[in-house]
A = this chain, B = another copy of it.
């Protein structure tokens, strides 16, 4: 509606070429038995904090690595390295989302014996949803302070994800956020979503989320066997 013919053609070009690179990345990762998850959310929804919590739980039994996508700074990668996990930084210098070609460029640095590769996208609930990165799973996060009216306002991220994580659930008693309403709305948009309610403070939901990830890794291994 808002785009000129030229804009539409260029966008189709970009998305088409992105899709090809992403498919090749996904095949390489899955062949190696690496389960990759792409995390999408607004800035400040708690993507890095969730990865810290999951990483600490998984790292004794699995090899875990994180790709950090940021417009500027290595702040998130530094946090991940502090808990003893490898983190590879992609700085987009202004670009509002990660693209598959950015991953392709650092792909050689990813160890082939990894079990879980988490990709923290740029903090943006809109644009990253259009770009496949070759992940096996996509997570959309929504934090309690953001409000429970978001799924219908930002539908694409919910439509294209397999996992919906409500974060900062420890704030539920203090803020007007109806977790049942937001879950129902997200499931109306995408009935296949797996929903987790988590808190990095109380630890709520972290264990079930890790069990889900382990189950998905097991499915990948069975497929590869």
* A10 at the binding interface (Cβ < 8 Å): yes
| A156 proximal to B (CB < 8 A) | yes
Contact assessment for B72 and A153 in the assembled complex, using a CB-CB cutoff below 8 Å:
yes
Per-residue CB contact flags for chain A residues 42-84 toward chain B (1 = under 8 Å, else 0) read 1110000000000000000000000000111101000000000
| Residue of A13, A101, A125, A127 contacting most chain B CB atoms (<10 Å) | A125
- Complex interface: stretch among A26-34, A92-100, A109-117, A212-220: A92-100
Q: Could you list which residues of chain A lie within 8 angstroms of chain B, going by C-beta atoms? A: 1-3, 6-7, 10, 13-14, 42-44, 70-73, 75, 92-96, 99, 101-102, 122-127, 143, 145-147, 149-150, 152-156, 168, 171, 174
Query: How far, in angstroms, from A146 to B1 measured CA to CA in the complex?
Result: 33
Please indicate the chain B residues that have their CB under 8 angstroms from the CB of A95 in the complex: 2-3
Q: Smallest CB–CB gap between A104 and chain B, Å?
A: 12
Contact pick for A43, options B146, B155, B174, CB 8 Å: B146
A96 near B126 (CB under 8 angstroms)? Answer: yes
Chain B residue at minimal CB-CB distance from A17: B4
Alpha-carbon separation in the docked complex, A38 to B155 (Å): 24
Neighbour of A44 across the interface among B3, B72, B150, CB < 8 A: B150
Integer count of this chain's copies in the complex: 2
Q: B99, B156, B171: which contacts A145 (Cβ < 8 A)?
A: B171
Tell me whether B125 and A43 are in contact (CB under 8 A): yes
Main secondary structure of the interface of A (DSSP, over half): loop
Contact at A10–B6, with CB atoms within 8 Å? yes
Closest B-chain residue to A145, C-beta based?
B145
B2–A44 CB distance below 8 A: no
Chain B: minimal CB distance from A194 (Å): 22
The reply to whether A96 and B96 form a contact with Cβ atoms under 8 Å apart is yes
Give the chain B neighbours of A152 by CB distance below 8 A: 72-73, 75
A89 to B27, CA, bound (A): 43
Question: In this complex, which of A75, A93, A146 has the most chain B Cβ atoms within 10 angstroms of its Cβ?
Answer: A146
A94 touching B125, Cβ below 8 Å: no
Q: How far is the CA of A62 from the CA of B74 in the complex (A)?
A: 46
Q: With the chains together, A44 CA to B148 CA distance in Å?
A: 9
Q: A70 to chain B: which residues have CB within 8 Å?
A: 153
